[in-house]
């Protein structure tokens, strides 16, 4: 077989333009051999929802403990984004009400043993409305800890549930903070040899990089009982070359975009598209 192929190729070489034909012939043979062993096929893997939400017809994105960031209001941006995603997916009816002033409520309830007052639907003030005191800045996870007790305050959430006709309540915390890192990174660099041929070689270089870290914790609360049904924490980060100027809001959306499918999968079935290889 090989001898016959070589003979055919040799005969091509002897004729005009034979070299091109021989190359084509070899390429075709190589392609045929390669194509016969495997095939790539697109698949869609269905993933069942993590939470059974059949008992709820409405969902209330109540707001998040997010503090202040100079460029991005992580609380309001997260509320807007989640509401819009849930509306698009039509998973449940999204309650369009003001967010809860969770920071104030957490401060008022102190250690979480007392029940803070529940603001009525109309009077609920936006969490980031400028007030007399400057909102705290959260740069680390431990900064959020003093406020976490609010999520375990069953009486408070039950009363919020009653206020909004017992929906599924989504709350939690969102840490969106700048970060800076320096160290050696591996980059690919183009080099040309003495014959002018291009090559790409890995090069280790020291780089100053800056970016953002997004660490949201989503807490799903049963509006009928005030009890936590499910908690989900994500962590995503992005780093850029220190000289690159990327707006914080754009980084925030890029990071949220990565974890949105997993958030939505908590409430509804998702199909994950991918490609797999079938073997012969």
Q: Give every CB contact of residue 166 below 8 A, 6+ residues apart in sequence.
A: 56, 58, 223, 224
- What count of other Cβ atoms lies within 10 Å of the Cβ of residue 239? 17
Can you tell me the distance from the alpha carbon of 154 to that of 164, in angstroms, rounded to the nearest whole number? 15
Residue 274 engages another protein in binding (rule: CB under 8 A): yes
Residue closer to another protein (CB basis): 98 or 237: 237
Q: By rule CB under 8 A, what count of residues binds another protein?
A: 27
Can you tell me the distance from the alpha carbon of 12 to that of 74, in angstroms, rounded to the nearest whole number? 68
Among 5, 28, 38, 117, binds another protein (CB under 8 A): 38
**SS3 category, 25:** helix
Can you tell me the distance from the alpha carbon of 38 to that of 2, in angstroms, rounded to the nearest whole number? 23
**SS3 category, 209:** strand
The site string for another protein over 208-237 (x = CB under 8 A, - otherwise) reads ----------------------xxxxxx--
Nearest to 221 by CA among 270, 177, 155, 269: 155
Per CB under 8 A, which region of 71-79, 81-89, 162-170, 259-267 contacts another protein?
259-267
Residue closer to another protein (CB basis): 47 or 137: 47
Residue closer to another protein (CB basis): 5 or 39: 39
Residue 280 engages another protein in binding (rule: CB under 8 A): yes
Residue closer to another protein (CB basis): 247 or 261: 261
Residue closer to another protein (CB basis): 88 or 231: 231
The site string for another protein over 44-63 (x = CB under 8 A, - otherwise) reads xxxxx-x-------------
Angle at alpha carbon of residue 75, lines to 73 and 81, rounded to 5°: 95
Can you tell me the distance from the alpha carbon of 5 to that of 11, in angstroms, rounded to the nearest whole number? 10
Among 104, 259, 260, 268, binds another protein (CB under 8 A): 259
Q: Give every CB contact of residue 89 below 8 A, 6+ residues apart in sequence.
A: 264, 268
Among 152, 159, 262, 268, binds another protein (CB under 8 A): 262
Closest contact distance (angstroms) between CB of 55 and another protein is: 19
Residue 179 engages another protein in binding (rule: CB under 8 A): no
Per CB under 8 A, which region of 62-70, 136-144, 196-204, 271-279 contacts another protein?
271-279
Nearest to 209 by CA among 176, 233, 180: 180
Q: Which residues bind another protein (CB under 8 A)?
A: 38-39, 41, 43-48, 50, 230-235, 259, 262, 265-266, 272, 274, 276-280
């Amino acid at each position: 077989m090989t001898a016959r192929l070589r003979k055919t190729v040799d005969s091509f070489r002897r004729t005009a333009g034979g070299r091109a034909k021989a190359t084509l012939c070899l390429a075709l043979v190589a392609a045929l051999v390669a194509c016969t062993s495997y095939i790539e096929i697109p698949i869609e893997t269905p993933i069942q929802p993590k939470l059974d939400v059949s008992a709820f017809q409405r969902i209330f994105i109540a707001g998040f403990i997010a503090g202040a960031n100079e460029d991005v209001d992580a609380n309001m941006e997260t509320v807007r984004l989640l509401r819009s995603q849930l509306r698009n997916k039509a998973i449940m009816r999204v309650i369009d009400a003001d967010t809860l002033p969770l920071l104030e409520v957490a401060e008022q309830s102190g250690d979480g043993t007392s029940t803070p007052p529940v603001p009525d639907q109309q009077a609920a003030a936006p969490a980031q409305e400028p007030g007399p005191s400057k909102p705290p800045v959260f740069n680390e996870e431990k900064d959020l800890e003093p406020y976490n007790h609010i999520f375990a305050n069953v009486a408070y959430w039950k009363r919020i549930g009653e206020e909004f006709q017992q929906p599924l309540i989504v709350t939690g915390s969102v840490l969106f903070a700048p970060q800076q890192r320096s160290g050696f990174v591996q980059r690919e660099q183009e080099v040309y040899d003495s014959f002018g041929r291009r090559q790409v070689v890995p090069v280790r270089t020291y780089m100053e990089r800056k970016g953002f870290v997004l660490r949201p914790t989503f807490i799903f609360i049963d509006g009928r009982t005030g009890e936590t049904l499910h908690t989900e924490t994500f962590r995503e980060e992005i780093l850029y070359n220190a000289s690159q100027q990327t707006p914080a809001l754009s980084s925030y959306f890029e990071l949220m975009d990565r974890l949105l499918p997993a958030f939505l999968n908590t409430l509804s079935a998702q199909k994950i598209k991918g490609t797999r290889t079938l073997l012969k």
